[in-house]
Chain A
Amino acid sequence: MKELRLAKKIIKTLVKDRIQYPGRLLADTLTTSGRCVVLLLLYYYVFNLKGGLINNTTFIVAAWSIFFYFAFMNLNLRNIARLIMADVQSGNIEVLLNKPISYLLYRSWWQIGAGLYSFLVVTLLGSVALILIIGIPSTMTIALFLPTVFLTFLMAVVLSLLIYIIVGLLSFWIIDINPVFWLIDKMVMILGGSYLPVALFPNFLYQISIYSPFGASQFITHVVYESWQMNWYWLILVQIFWIIVLGLAVYFMFRSVKKKVSINGG
């Protein structure tokens, strides 16, 4: 209960902070426009050029898949790795570890709170714009869609946090985690179906995307495809599997990290 109260407080404070600084919302909107909107316009042209169908996928389906990826990116969960690194580099970690709260949970709630406002606004505006401009595919109108989207979204949030927490915890050993961060980030970008929707993947890449934690953390991009109706439970099981594996990895890493830290006080 105490943990939930803390989470609520952190998220509420950060959402208020983001509302207070509309510049950050503008920045996130510009970033989404710079990547997602331009990409959608490019794909619109390419699909028209190829007669409206590529790999049995229509533009409308590819567009929603790409949009879900960029909307999810607005949560900016990956930044948790850099926050942990900053705590380690600045020495702030010793203060936070001494507090009677779980450090990793605190950082996770912080990250969710920091991205929530932009995520909600950009997703809402983007969805309305997409519905008005290109409409929605039939796969998004079935009863199964909303509950499974919600489920896979929650799993994706947890899995993304775990992946980037592991990257962040590496800063206890290598101090500067940026190169590892870039590598993992690009794996997520490629296998998540960002610039190239998963429907256009060659078979081997599709298999890697399904069975790797990087692809699994972005299954939200799969929800618009016809195949989702058949194998959504399987994909969510894959997410649960990776959450357990990476959760254990985080647990053991953090246990060893706590032994490594020498708190000098002062």
Chain B
Amino acid sequence: MNKEIKFAMYAIKKNIQNGAELRGSFLINIFGMVINNVAYIFLWVYFIKSVGVVGGWTAADIIGLQAFVAIGYGFVFSTMMGIRKIPEYINSGSFDRFILSPKNLLIRIATASFNASAIGDLIFGLICFAVYIILISANFYQFLMMLVLVVLATIANLAISIIVGASSFFFMDPEAITKGFFDLFFAPSLFHGGAFQGALRFVFTFIIPSLVIGTLPVEAVRNMSLGKLALVAILAFVWFFIALRFFRYAVKKYESSNFMTFGSQ
């Protein structure tokens, strides 16, 4: 396992170095994404101004939501962008080279690609994280909770990304379909959490776990709720376990496209 982690770290380092070679484009992508993400804060803060407080959610909570979601997304896709590219690898036939690699298949695929703009998400998330701490005047207990929840939200984000990526093995046109699945999971995670109530909250917590990566962590921190922290932890690990099993099962469905792409990107 140690060897696999070392390999993953090495691959991530090389990916970042590779991306940073085109310095101008690299930096513009990062800062472009930071500015891009501000739009969601702008939208939901104006939503609160127009509609008023819903479900106890204030503007600070919207910033907290962006922090959890952006850090999770940014970390997963700046280091493991290969997961999003599984459909592309399958379509092009270049998945063969991963299967033939002696390394752990999932780690090998995940670390095969890098997304500079996801670093922008990560930076944006960290800025929101700091602003959120200041806005809610977080105490030490809340700060610790936030750290734990960021890790759990990232695990949940990774788990769903693996499941969506692995679903590519079951479709003829995987790129379009997995994009749809990912949107279905990810878009609601950026919505105002206080407006998810009743059946809608149940669906987006247990069936499509969009709320696990942002809304529930914010509510856990705000209310200092150990119950919600435990719920996020359980859901994150259960989905991660399901993701690993599903990936192993899905890979067996793969049939080589017999393209001459061995060794190519």
Contact = CB atoms under 8 A, between A and B. Distances in A.
Q: Are A and B associated in one complex?
A: yes
Interface of A: 21, 23-24, 26-31, 33-35, 38-39, 41-43, 45-46, 49-50, 54-55, 174-176, 178-180, 182-183, 185-186, 189-190, 194-196, 200-202, 205
Contacts, number: 118
Main secondary structure of the interface of B (DSSP, over half): helix
B173 A38 contact: no
B28 to A, nearest CB: 5
6 contacts: A31-B179, A34-B184, A45-B195, A45-B198, A50-B52, A54-B50
Contacts of A195: 43-44, 47, 191
A105 B253 CA distance: 42
B33 interface: yes
A25 to B, nearest CB: 9
B260 interface: no
B144 to A, nearest CB: 31
B47 A29 contact: no
B254 interface: no
Contact of B49 (A30, A45, A180, A202): A202
A121 to B, nearest CB: 14
Interface stretch (B8-16, B34-42, B128-136, B221-229): B34-42
Interface of B: 25, 28-29, 31-33, 35-36, 39, 42-44, 46-47, 49-52, 54, 117, 171-174, 176-177, 179-181, 183-188, 191-192, 195-198, 200, 204
Contact of A183 (B35, B44, B179): B35
A27 B180 CA distance: 4
A50 B196 contact: no
B35 A21 contact: no
A49 B54 contact: yes
Contacts of B192: 42
B78 to A, nearest CB: 15
B43 A196 contact: yes
A202 B31 CA distance: 28
Contact of B200 (A42, A54, A178): A42
